[in-house]
Structure 1
């Protein structure tokens, strides 16, 4: 099978539309469709089927996309063999991080990368939900993301996941709050509080909703703010309470207290396409992320 056609199929599996694949590969949409048809003729079974105005993969198409990952990973592995003859990893690694993860990890990661000769890091902060992560691996070598303790893990047949850390989520209170002197706070004691949450679908909101299901206490969310720095300012000024990540927040105007009787946290993970870590530079970045995660959680 033609490697280029397999790459087009994988891109279609990740991006979902012919137009998106064409944009990513600098093809015309008709060229993408032609490559998919040619691959389908080559294998002798339908790989796509109509879905509204577009296309979607058949069961055979999805199965071949998984195998395409393995073939393309093998090709990448062959290229990595050549890289392994160099004394140090080389090249630029593209990395996307969710904003508060970048706040926590990126300064230290860039310091560590600066000690590696011949390596560079191209970084973007992206406010991502877990369902958006697989598509991001099409554009980035490594995607640093977060998910609720109870959220479903990523598909191991197509993605490699490196667990970096589990960060507890604490209740953030303003100085002088009646509960600020407690070591731990029962969620029922916060029933009357005004909460500052994040957009629906993001991990911190998932945690707040799962706590509500398990305790029967429905939080009153008065604002939804995704930027934790803004949330810090609002809580400090007395506009509500919030769940904030323990290791990321360092604000002398706030008091952080764990929730009693429940596990509230987010899992911070580095996600990449299967086979990507064969490339020495990507492996080096994953090792650096692990080292920095260990450093920030030990402080």
Structure 2
């Protein structure tokens, strides 16, 4: 009998095209992915991959099995969800992945919102949005919190996934509390700030894309910009007076006594934050309940951000 987990690995390989990319998507090692596929080939009794020294691609048998894998995996989960719906109990484990700032912002509210259901076990893990999306698609997680800077909703993987918009998260300026524009009455004009020391995320980080789009009309980030990974690290440096930064407003929830946040009056890039789940899992009472908790949590997070920025600096958040 075919193993469901190995069918998941095969389907992810079909999506990504390489062992390495499949491993990254699933959070596995490349050797573990290769081993799973080799075992599946033995179960099927036919080669599923045509391997060479540098690459691998699906054989005709592999492509045929992928077509059936989509149907098999969706049917199995739909059956499990239907049975759970009949029972009606909000119980069992629900696994959520979230990019770091979302994990910090949403964790307290998820814990409080799910507490009444003692039979529900919530597992929250940090993962980059693309990785989380892959884990949900592969069945290794139930819900992923993902971000989009470039517009457009998350990939629904051929209809297997459904997304729910949670909140808009615009960039805001983070400056030391003694900075010249720290006071609310001081105007914010980006061109006058380009001589400051800027602290940015490394190339390839999603927030770096937002900063580059923000500063592109003014010549882009200064050549002397410092690169540090992690919004918490960037904010700690701003708090110590080492420079200024443009950060997602969600970072206000990290706690920043020595930082002042200012809305960008010219407008700027906004990331959209979504919750993504498999369509076949939505009838599970536990998954549906956690999605409801996430929606309510997003409203509370948005209100907290508005309060921290102040009434004059929140118009962009409410759009």
* TM-score, scaled to structure 2: 0.76
Match of 1:265 in 2: 270
The aligned counterpart of 1:136 is 135
**Secondary structure of the corresponding residue to residue 163 of structure 1:** strand
RMSD over aligned CA atoms reads 3.5
The answer to whether the aligner puts 1:200 opposite 2:203 as a matched pair is: yes
In 1, are the aligned partners of 2:101 and 2:251 still within 8 Å (CA)?
yes
Does the aligned pair in 1 maintain the 2:215–2:221 contact within 8 Å?
A: yes
| 1:102 Cα deviation after fit | 1.2
How far apart are residue 38 of structure 1 and its match? Answer: 6.5
Q: How does 1:191-270 map to 2 (within 5 A)?
A: 191-220=194-223, 222-249=225-252, 250-270=255-275
Do structure 1's residue 115 and structure 2's residue 120 form an aligned pair? no
Cα distance, 1:161 vs structure 2: 2.2
SS at match of 1:115: coil
- Which consecutive unaligned segments of at least 5 residues does structure 2 have? 305-319
* Equivalent-residue separation in structure 2 for 1:200 and 1:267 (angstroms): 20
Query: How far apart, in 2, do the equivalents of 1:165 and 1:62 lie?
Result: 38
Does structure 2 conserve the Cα–Cα contact (< 8 Å) formed by 1:3 and 1:72?
no
Matched-pair contact (CA < 8 Å) for 1:162–1:270: yes
> Structure 1 or 2: larger helix share?
2
Q: Is the 8 A contact 1:174 1:253 kept in 2?
A: yes
Aligned twin of 1:177: 179
SS at match of 2:295: helix
Task: After superposition, give the CA deviation of every residue in 1:241-284 in whole Å (9 maximum; x if it has no partner).
Answer: 01123243142321111223233222222233442333322222
Count, aligned residues = 291
Contact between 1:184 and 1:259, CA under 8 Å: does it hold in 2? no
Q: TM-score, normalised by structure 1?
A: 0.81
Deviation at 1:113, TM superposition (A): 1.0
1:1-52 Cα deviation digits (max 9, x unpaired): 957474452243467429958x79x9895663353477596xxxx9644464
Query: Is 117-126 or 210-219 further displaced after alignment?
Result: 210-219
The 4+ residue runs of structure 1 with deviation greater than 6 A are none
* Displacement of 1:239: 0.7
1:279 has 2:280 as partner: no
